[in-house]
Structure 1
Amino acid sequence: MLTVTPRAFEWTPTVGIIMILCNVVAIAFAKYTMKNPSAEPQIPAGNLFGGFGLPAILASTSFGHVLGAGVILGLSNIGVL
């Protein structure tokens, strides 16, 4: 057990770009699948996010981060990153 150590992974701009792309994909997915994306409370610049309310932004970006973490870990494990 002591010889099994997780691979240390450093942040690079590529990792940041992958996370941003995963969040954009998650927001686009949410735009077309959410029943009520403009639920209250509204955010100040809601038109920048397609008219999403705060619950929709939190839900879609949370999903985007989970998706991004999976993609980054997967690409790291297969040796692409």
Structure 2
Amino acid sequence: MNSLLLTVPTTVPWSPSVAVVMVGCNLFAVAIGYYAIEGKGVGPALPLPELFKGFGVPELLATAALGHLLGTGMVLGLANSGLL
């Protein structure tokens, strides 16, 4: 049982550098989703239509979820490699 506890990866506490990585990954995912999603604007619209033309709430939630998955992987990878 003790060897199982040694395999748990160490995580970094929340810091501005973790926030920058997470925000960057979310912006990257939103930018990719803005051009990759084919059926945009089917659900409810965002309150800022001039900023995201045809980009609604479902698209924003989907791309933000993908961005958080990418950000989690980036933060864990950078932390385990010692760069974060």
Q: By the TM > 0.5 criterion, same fold?
A: yes
TM-score by length of 2: 0.84
Match of 1:35 in 2: 38
Q: 1:50 to 1:21 in 2, by over 3 A?
A: farther
State the shift of 1:73 in Å.
0.4
Q: 1:63 aligns with which of 48, 61, 66?
A: 66
TM-score by length of 1: 0.87
Identity %: 40
In 2: Cα distance, 1:39 partner to 1:21 partner? 27
Q: Which has the higher contact order (CA 8 A, sep 6+)?
A: 2
Unaligned runs of 5+ in 1: none
Unaligned runs of 5+ in 2: none
State the shift of 1:50 in Å.
4.4
Paired residue total: 81
